[in-house]
A and B are shown apart, each in its own frame.
Chain A
Amino acid sequence: MAQITLIEAVTQALAYEMAHDDSVMVLGEDVGLNGGVFRATQGLQEKFGELRVLDTPLDETTIAGVTVGLAVQGMKPVAEAQFEGFIYPMMEQIACHAARMRNRTRGRLTVPAVFRAPWGGGIRAPEHHSEANEHLFTNIPGLRVVMPSSPARAYGLLLAAIRDPDPVMFFEPKRIYRQYKEEVPDDGEALPLDVCFVLRDGTDVTLVTWGAQVKEALEAADELASQGISAEVIDVATLTPLDFDTIAESVQKTGRCVIVHEAPKTAGFGAEIAARLAEECMYDLLAPVERVTGFDTHIPLFRLEMKYMPSVERVVDAAKRTLAAS
C-alpha cells in the first residue's frame, strides 16, 4: 500500500467520494487543470470533467454563494478557498446562508457543503497567506469546524465532512501538508466528526491542540517524557460541535492542561476550552490552565513568523509550569 502525505490524502478522499457519489463536486480557483495551488485537486478534472471540477471566476464570494445554491439543489459541493486569508469575502454567504439555511427554513432547505481552505502559517508564504482564524467560524451556529492533523485523519475526516448533511469548514494545516507520509487505505472509511482523538496517553498533564500544532504537542510530549513527565495529547480535530467530554476525562485524570493553538490568544478557541475547564473541571485542576498560542498580533511576514508560532519549547515550559504549581 502506498504511503501518502496529508495533501495526497485530501486528494484521495475527494477522488474516492466523487467516484462513488455523482453529486459530489469540487469548485474553486485553479482547482481544474492546475490541480489547485497546493495540488489538492490534482488529476480530478481529467477524471471527472470540467463541470464537476470547476474553475470558477476569481471571486471568493461567488465560490461561496454558488456553493450554497448547488448544495440546496442536492449537489454536495466541496469549495476551495485558495488560502485561509482569502476566506473573508466568503463569510457572509457562510454565516448568513450556509450555516443557517436549515434553521431558517425549519429544515426545508439544507446546505450539505464543505468549505476547504489551506490554513495557518509556517511555509514562508507572502502576506495574507498564513492566517489561522478558525475561531471566527467556531462562533457561528450551524457550522462544523474540522481540522485534520495527519494523512489518515485528513482522509477520514474529509470523507465524513462531505457525507455530513450540514456545512463543514475543513481547514487543512498547510505546514504539515507534506510533513510525513503514512499508509492510508483508500477504503472509503470515514472518521467520526463528534470526537476528539487521544493521540498519546499520559498521566501528568494534558496537551490539547489541533491542526499543525499537533506536531509540536507530540514533540513536546517526547521531550517531557525524557524529563520524566507523562503528557497526554489530544487532537480536538472537530472544534465545533465540541466533544468536551474527552478533554474533561483527560484533565480529571491529569489535573493539568496546556492548550496549544496558532491563532491569536484573545478569544481564540483555546479560551472556550479554558472556560469550559473552569466551569466543569475546576476542582480537578491542580494548576492554572495554560495557553500557548499565537500572539494578539498579525502573523508577521516570514522572517519573524516562527517567533509567533507556538514552539515545542514554549509548550514544554508551559507544561512544566503546571507541574511546578502543584
Chain B
Amino acid sequence: MTIAAKFEIEYLQYLDAEGKQVRDDLPEFAKDLGHMVELYKLMLSTRVFDAKSIALQRTGKLGTYASCLGHEAAHVGIGSAMRPEDVYAPSYREYGAQLYRGVQPREVYMYWGGDERGNDYQKEPARHDFAWSVPIATQCLHAAGSALAFKIRGEKRVAVCTIGDGGSSKGDFYGAINIAGAQNLPLVAVIVNNQWAISVPRKIQSGAPTLAQKGIAAGLFSIQVDGNDIIAVRKAMEDALERARSGKGGSVIEAVTYRLGDHTTADDARRYRGEQEVKDGWEKEPMKRLRNWLVAKGVWDDAKEEAWKAECDEWMDNEVNAYLETKTQPVSAMFDYIFAEVPADLAKQRDYVLSLETKGH
C-alpha cells in the first residue's frame, strides 16, 4: 500500500481538571506567576461580568444575551496571546478575549441592550477589531481578508477569528482556512468547541473525530487543546501567532470546552441535555483548575479571591450604571450611518421621521 499523505492531531494539556500539572515543560509565560495571576483575575472578572449580564437580562434591563460561562480559559487565552496590532474577529460570546483587548463591559451591555453604539468600541486595540458577528462563521472570512491585507502591505500582523463547533460546519469557515492555506496568510482560526450549537450536539455536527483536523484539509497547522486549560490555549495561540507573523502560515486550533450555560438567555438547555452532562461539565470547568494550581504555587488564596471579586463587582456596577444612564440615540441615528453622507433620497425619509418626532408620535 502506498500512502499519499499521513496526518495526526496533537492534543495539548498542561493542567488537568483538578489543577494538577500533567507535563513539566511549562511555557515561558506560565513561569511568570504574576502574569498567571493576572490571567486568572481576568477570567474571574469575565465570570463576574457574565453573571451580571444575565442578572440584567432577567430583570428586563438587557435584551437577549449570549453567555460565556465556561469559556473563560479559551477566551482569555486567545485575547492575551494577541498583540495590540493584531486584529480579532469574534463571533458573539468571546468577552474574555475582548475585555483583554479593551472592549468595555458597558459596550457589551449596550449591544445586547439594543444600541448600535455597543459596536463602536472606544478603546484600542479593540477599536480596530471587528464587532460581534451574529451570522455564523462569516467573520472567518473577514479575518482572512484582513490577513490578506497584511500580507499585501508587508505588515507583521495576524488576524484571529473564533467560531464554535457548529460554525466549523459552515462554508465561510472552510473558505477562510482554504484561502489562508492557498495564499499562506497570517490567519489563526480558533474553534471554541463547547459541544453544543444551540441544541445540536457535537456528535451530530460532524463525523470528524476532531474538528482541528479540518485545518489539515486546508494545509494549515492544526492542533487540539484542552480549552479549559488556559496554559494550553495560550501556548497554542502563541505558537500559531508566531508562525503566522513570521510568514510560516496559518493555523487551526480546536479548544475543547463546555457550554455551561444556555445558548442565550432566550434558550432553555434543559429541553435537550441532561443534568449529569452539565454536572460533568462543571467538574472540568476552567476556573477551578487554575485557582488550585495558583493556590498550590502560593500566589493565590481565598482572601485574594474575595478581594478581587469585590473589585470586579464594583467595576461591573460602575459599567452597569454607565450603561443604564446612556440615553437612547436620537431617531436620526437610524439614517446617519447608512452611507458616509446621507443621500438626498434617504434624507427625505429621515426628515419625515423627524417631523413625526416633533409631532410627538
Contacts and interface: CB of A to CB of B under 8 A. Distances in A.
Interface of A: 25, 51-52, 54, 56-57, 59, 61-62, 64-75, 77, 89, 92-93, 96-97, 102-110, 141-142, 144, 165-166, 194, 240-245
Contact of A69 (B131, B135, B148, B333): B148
A107 B116 CA distance: 10
B148 A96 contact: no
A5 B275 CA distance: 69
A70 B175 contact: no
B338 interface: yes
A105 B340 contact: no
A59 B346 contact: no
Return the 8 tightest CB-CB contacts between A and B, nearest first. Answer: A69-B145, A65-B141, A241-B343, A62-B175, A73-B149, A66-B145, A69-B142, A106-B120
Given A51-B152, A69-B148, A109-B131, A241 B345 contact: yes
A203 to B, nearest CB: 26
A74 B339 contact: no
Interface of B: 87, 89, 116-117, 119-121, 127, 130-131, 133-135, 138, 140-152, 159, 171-172, 175-176, 178-179, 182-183, 333, 337-340, 343-346
23 contacts: A57-B175, A57-B179, A61-B172, A66-B144, A66-B179, A70-B146, A70-B149, A71-B145, A73-B146, A73-B149, A74-B149, A89-B171, A92-B138, A97-B133, A103-B116, A103-B338, A106-B119, A108-B119, A109-B131, A142-B338, A142-B339, A241-B344, A244-B345
A315 to B, nearest CB: 26
Contacts of A56: 179
B144 to A, nearest CB: 5
B131 A104 contact: yes
Nearest to B218: A57
A105 B176 CA distance: 23
B337 A106 contact: yes
Contacts of A97: 133, 135, 138, 142
Contacts of B333: 106
A65 B172 contact: yes
A85 to B, nearest CB: 18
Contact of B138 (A65, A67, A105, A245): A65
A245 B348 CA distance: 12
B241 to A, nearest CB: 18
A108 B121 CA distance: 8
A71 B151 CA distance: 14
A69 B337 contact: no
Given A66-B141, A69-B143, A104-B116, A92 B135 contact: yes
A68 B141 contact: yes
A141 B349 CA distance: 13
Contacts of B345: 240-244
Given A62-B178, A105-B119, A72 B135 contact: no
Nearest to B137: A65
A181 to B, nearest CB: 33
Nearest to B183: A54
B148 to A, nearest CB: 6
A64 B145 CA distance: 9
Nearest to B161: A69
Nearest to A65: B141
A57 B185 CA distance: 13
A68 B145 contact: yes
Contacts of A166: 339-340
A244 B347 CA distance: 13
A66 B187 CA distance: 12
B119 A165 contact: no
Contacts of B135: 92, 96-97
